[in-house]
Amino acid sequence: MTENSSASGGTGLPASIEAAWGLRDRPVKGPKPGLTLDRIVAAAVAVAASDGIAAVSMGRVAKELGASTMSLYRYVSAKEELYVLMQEAAMGAPAPLPALEDGAGWREALSQWAWAQRRMFHRNLWSLRIPIAGPPASPHSVAWWEQGLQALEGSGLGEGDKISVILLVSGFVRNEAVLMSDLAAAVEAKGVPPRAVMAQWERTVKQLADPVRHPALSRLLATGVMSEPDDADHAFVFGLERVLDGVEVLVRKGGPV
């Protein structure tokens, strides 16, 4: 059993990722008693959850564990590898989709899949800041893709089109989560309730918008729709339904025109 995380087998994956797949044993001994890959990942996740992904470094994680920085490299070869393991821990395995178990149509199944992804992201907003380095290759990320593809089983789409749909829907979910995260951070930085931020924005734009140069925006502000009570899910529901409407058109045509 090796403790050198940079070594990989025939998969070409780092040893720690192969261990996540069960293709090799996890290292259980380190220079500090009790130091394990799971503890390293958990400590890194805790740092990211409290201080953001930018605060995660091998040195910071080692400090949280009371270990030396070099001792971590016996388990994880680089910070980028640690990011993958952190994301794997944050995602978890996808829960069963009721629509798949009940035999509902592809649209309901794909909608449930999108909502599940959104909940996962909102529980771990820090994970959205991890750079995307390539296609999914860890157990949980592959399991999420598998579930999305299963949701499209009854659509009649070709395999290539299914992948395109999965990328489209997951991209929408991720983008919405990033946007909500950025807005929440901006509101928190201002130290005032969200409605107060929106009210201030509306007052400011009303003063700046010229009905001649900005007729559409002026008409929008005149309706007062921006002052209506918040519905935290409205934008997501609206956007997801429109995305699924487009996929449904594709399904009815039997694939790309």
Same domain (yes/no): 76, 26: yes
Distances (CA, A) of 168 to 17, 66, 140, 201: 27, 43, 19, 31
Query: CATH number for the domain including 29?
Result: 1.10.10.60
What pLDDT digit, counting tens, does each position of 182-221 carry? 877 777 777 777 677 777 888 888 888 888 999 998 888 8
> For position 102, which CATH number holds?
1.10.357.10
Residues 39 and 150 in one domain: no
111 and 182 share a domain? Answer: yes
Residue 177 is assigned to a structural domain of this protein = yes
- Which of 51, 59, 68, 119 shows the shortest CA–CA distance to 90? 119
Whether residue 142 is predicted with pLDDT greater than 90 in this model: the reply is yes
In a domain, residue 179? The reply is: yes
Which two tokens mark 247? 């996929």
Among the candidates 91, 117, 139, a domain finishes at 91
Query: Are 113 and 81 found together in one domain?
Result: no
Regarding whether 86 and 102 lie in a shared domain, the answer is no
Residue 202 in domain: no
Q: Is 249 found in the same domain as 153?
A: yes
* Residue in this structure with the two tokens 């609206």, named with its chain if needed: 238
Q: How far apart are CA 44 and CA 48, in angstroms?
A: 6
Among the candidates 91, 108, 127, a domain finishes at 91
Domain boundary among 56, 91, 126: 91
Same domain assignment for residues 244 and 138: yes
Give the chain's domain count: 2
Q: What is the pTM of this model?
A: 0.82
Residues 245 and 134 in one domain: yes
Domain shared by 126 and 76, yes or no: no
- Which domain does 73 fall in, by range? 15-91
| 207 part of a folded domain | no
Dist. CA 97–CA 75, nearest whole Å: 34
Same domain (yes/no): 129, 245: yes
HEC string for the chain: CCCCCCCCCCCCCCHHHHHHCCCCCCCCCCCCCCCCHHHHHHHHHHHHHHHCHHHCCHHHHHHHHCCCHHHHCCCCCCHHHHHHHHHHHHHCCCCCCHHHHHCCCHHHHHHHHHHHHHHHHHHCHHHHHCCCCCCCCCHHHHHHHHHHHHHCHHHCCCHHHHHHHHHHHHHHHHHHHHHHHHHHHHHHHHCCCHHHHHHHHHHHHHHHCCCCCCHHHHHHHHHCHHHCCCCCCHHHHHHHHHHHHHHHHHHHHCCCC
Average pLDDT of span 55-71: 94
pLDDT in tens, 68-111: 999 999 899 888 899 999 999 999 999 999 998 888 899 999 99
